[in-house]
C-alpha cells in the first residue's frame, strides 16, 4: 500500500486535477472528447509519470498520460508480440 501512495504521489500535480472526470472517463467516448482530454494532458507537468503508471498498471479505462486504452495497449504489447504458449 505504501508503494502505491508514493508511486502515484505525482497525481496531485496533474493538469487534470480540476477537470471533470467524465472528460477522461466518458460513458460514450467521441473523437472530440478524446481530443479535449488529450489537450489537457498535453500541457501537464506530470505527463510522463502518468503515462508510465497507466502503461505499467494496465489501466483498463480512460485517458491517462494523453493516451487511450488502445494506445496504451500498443505500448505494452507491440505488433508481433505473442504470449508464450502454456
Residue 41, marked binder: yes
Of 69, 72, 71, 64, the C-alpha closest to 14 is 64
pLDDT at 27: 80
Residue 10, marked binder: no
pLDDT tens digits, 21-76: 999 998 887 899 999 999 999 999 999 999 999 999 999 999 999 999 999 988 87
Query: What's the rounded Cα separation, in Å, for the pair 65 and 44?
Result: 9
Q: Where are the domains of the chain?
A: 2-76
Q: Which SS3 state, helix, strand or coil, does residue 9 take? A: helix
Query: What's the rounded Cα separation, in Å, for the pair 10 and 49?
Result: 7
Residues 6+ apart with CB under 8 A from 22: none
Residue 58, marked binder: no
pLDDT at 6: 56
Report whether pLDDT(3) > 80: no
Residue 50, marked binder: yes
Amino acid at each position: 500500500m505504501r508503494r502505491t501512495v508514493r508511486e502515484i504521489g505525482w497525481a496531485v500535480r496533474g493538469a487534470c486535477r480540476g477537470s471533470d472526470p467524465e472528460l477522461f472517463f466518458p460513458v460514450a467516448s467521441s473523437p472530440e472528447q478524446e481530443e479535449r482530454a488529450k489537450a489537457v494532458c498535453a500541457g501537464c507537468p506530470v505527463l510522463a509519470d502518468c503515462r508510465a503508471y497507466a502503461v505499467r498498471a494496465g489501466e483498463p479505462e480512460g485517458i491517462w498520460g494523453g493516451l487511450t486504452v488502445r494506445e496504451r495497449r500498443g505500448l505494452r504489447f507491440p505488433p508481433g508480440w505473442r504470449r508464450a504458449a502454456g
